[in-house]
Structure 1
Amino acid sequence: MQQLSSTTASPAQFYTWDNYRCAYEVHQPINATPEGIPLLLIHPIGVGLSRQFWQRFCREWYNAGHRNLIYNPDLLGCGESDKPHVAYTPSDWAKQLQHFLQTVVQKPVILVVQGALFPVAIELVQREALFIAALVLSGPPAWAVITKQSPKWQQKLTWNLLDSPFGNLFYRYARRKEFLRSFSIRQLFASSDAVDEEWLNTLIAGAENTQTRYAVFSFLAGFWRQDYSQAISSIKQPTLVVVGETASSISQAGKKESPDERLADYLASLPQGQGIKVTGRNVPPYESTAEFVKDITPFIDEVSKS
């Protein structure tokens, strides 16, 4: 495969959904014609996280010689998209991406989704199946978490607690560099050395606007925690499950599950599921970027040829 030097990313572009201004960027290879099925990236939700999470992946994707267009949007409440003071659900973000597919992309894509944003991909597949050629699930939640309904009263109580002066103070504390480093080492990365300045500075910059807290609080409140077992078993598209060799779960419900058990549970439910393990813990596209790109390539190539 021809080695391409780098990627060209468009400046932030914008579209309107539900009267909100939503940001995205398009990546393409330098000095080469795009080819293959485009990738649509879904970034994780957390303090300072946005589409910037995927920059390292995009660089490595083109450095490895791939030519797929990459669509990298900011979900509502994150990055350069509008940040209304609302409680966000996976359905809200799926509707946003559905509109994005219909009006901007206008062709089938391969969804690459990080972590506990898998419910957004599930809802999007249910709404717009013809636009989804395949899915890559990077570090999906523990099976015990993704198949358990969180009580609605508990979700609402947590949201109300966070959506308060206390929550505002907590967010200001959580965006400090020391906290971000500590949390990343404890919960996200296998190697503390991988929690580098690029990672921390990106999070600090992303959390500078405190209005980003509403998306984070929505995630922490657990509005994404539902029983998705039936919906997962109805995904007809080819799906690659990528799990870190030291994958863990923040939730108590998933703490005893091994990476092999997580893979087995997903593959037992997905009609067209495949699974691989990669070096790292819970954020393989960032911590083990080159290996992640190399290991998902055969799946992407196979889908593109079918």
Structure 2
Amino acid sequence: MQPSAVANTTNLTASSSQFYNWQNYRCAYEVYQPINTTPEGIPLLLIHPIGVGLSRQFWQRFCRKWYNTGERNSIYNPDLLGCGESDMPHIAYTPSDWAEQLQYFLQTVVRKPVIVVVQGGLLPVAFALVQKESNLIARLVLSGPPAWALMTNKSPKWQQKVLWNLLDSPFGSAFYRYARTPKFLHSFSTRQLFASENSVDTEWLNTLVAGAENPASRHAVFSFLAGFWRQDYISFLTSIQQPTLAVVGETASSISQERKKQTPDERLAHYLACLPQGRGIKIIGRNVLPYESTAEFVTAITPFINEVS
């Protein structure tokens, strides 16, 4: 297994991709290490968000900045099933499915404890992974955790099924063809993800367009939109014994339709009230902090990571 060296690299290529088999599916990942030095500390396991064109490429800026600031942890960056270079079966994905994939990845590829860094709405995958493989999770960093209403209100199974069936249809295929255009991606990113429209740059849009080129990538996206991840996670939060850092953007917003808008401070307070060893911090940015506010995000999490290094 040859790790990728990204400390001074502006572009990471598919030639550094590696693969493993899980349940007869081919799954991709990369391993990053600092250039010309020995890795130190507990490795990081990155969990990318789900969305049109999103994959492990989401973490490229973070990885570059991490090593450019002198940090030396190894980084494991996998593509979840249905995304990136991993296989894209036509199934309805649940957080448990992705957690089982990552559990196998930890057991067979990493084979040592990690610090999980999870982005946004994939937080339920991290919860499920802690439930399944707690001994291999040392700490957790929650980047832009979802609004509290989304994490405590379970959507009805019938509703999930109706939404999935609607999306998993010719209508959904047509919608996905439009959703992967630069025009839509720019509009959605500006409205829902970034604090500044200027941050929605060519690198971001080109990465999403390339990631959504394979129409089979729609199944993971539609699974997320159908809400298979929506349930009450309070019991999961209160059971996490690992130290956990929640990082929230100063202008964080939500896809929730709740009439009462939740402030970032309120969001942090809800999480910290439930996490037995929780801490929280706000930084500039909105909902995709490792990409939009990369330097600030690295600065925010480094002390927490280095406590066990």
Range class of TM-score, shorter chain: over 0.9
Q: Deviations over 1:241-280 (max 9, x none)?
A: 0000000001113861000000000000000000000110
Corresponding residue SS for 2:308: helix
1:68 aligns with 2:73: yes
Give the alignment partner of residue 103 of structure 1, picking from 90, 108, 118. Answer: 108
Cα pair 2:52 2:212 within 8 Å, conserved: yes
1:91 aligns with 2:96: yes
The residue that corresponds to 1:178 in the other structure is 183
Q: What's the CA shift for 1:129? A: 0.2
Give the alignment partner of residue 148 of structure 1, picking from 134, 148, 153. Answer: 153
The residue that corresponds to 2:60 in the other structure is 55
Cα pair 1:24 1:74 within 8 Å, conserved: yes
Separation of aligned partners in 2, 1:255 and 1:124 = 31
Give the alignment partner of residue 121 of structure 2, picking from 116, 123, 134. Answer: 116
Q: Deviations over 1:40-81 (max 9, x none)?
A: 000000000000000000000000000000000000000000
The residue that corresponds to 2:223 in the other structure is 218
Give the alignment partner of residue 29 of structure 1, picking from 28, 34, 39. Answer: 34
Corresponding residue SS for 1:134: strand
- Which shows bigger deviation, 245-254 or 164-173? 245-254
The residue that corresponds to 1:262 in the other structure is 267
Corresponding residue SS for 2:281: strand
Cα pair 1:149 1:227 within 8 Å, conserved: yes
Cα 1:110/1:157, change in 2 over 3 Å: same
Letter of the 1:232 counterpart = L
Q: Deviations over 1:101-129 (max 9, x none)?
A: 00000000000000000000000000000
Give the alignment partner of residue 6 of structure 1, picking from 5, 8, 32. Answer: 8
Letter of the 2:78 counterpart = P
Separation of aligned partners in 2, 1:147 and 1:65 = 39
Given the two structures, how large is their TM-score scaled by the length of structure 1? 0.96
How many pairs does the alignment contain?
301
Cα pair 1:143 1:254 within 8 Å, conserved: no
Cα pair 1:39 1:111 within 8 Å, conserved: yes
Cα pair 2:84 2:211 within 8 Å, conserved: yes
1:272 aligns with 2:277: yes
Give the alignment partner of residue 207 of structure 1, picking from 194, 206, 212. Answer: 212
Letter of the 1:284 counterpart = L
Give the alignment partner of residue 302 of structure 2, picking from 282, 288, 297. Answer: 297
Cα pair 1:88 1:223 within 8 Å, conserved: yes
Separation of aligned partners in 1, 2:101 and 2:302 = 28
Separation of aligned partners in 2, 1:61 and 1:273 = 23
Q: What's the CA shift for 1:5? A: 4.9
Separation of aligned partners in 2, 1:144 and 1:165 = 31
Separation of aligned partners in 2, 1:253 and 1:137 = 22
Separation of aligned partners in 1, 2:79 and 2:271 = 27
Letter of the 1:300 counterpart = I
Q: What's the CA shift for 1:302? A: 1.1
1:18 aligns with 2:23: yes
Letter of the 2:225 counterpart = L
Cα pair 1:134 1:303 within 8 Å, conserved: no
Determine what percentage of the aligned residue pairs are the same residue: 76
Cα 1:79/1:260, change in 2 over 3 Å: same
Letter of the 2:161 counterpart = K
Separation of aligned partners in 2, 1:217 and 1:109 = 29
- Which shows bigger deviation, 282-291 or 5-14? 5-14
The residue that corresponds to 1:229 in the other structure is 234
The residue that corresponds to 2:3 in the other structure is none
Runs (5+) with no aligned partner, structure 1: none
Q: What's the CA shift for 1:144? A: 1.2
Given the two structures, how large is their TM-score scaled by the length of structure 2? 0.95
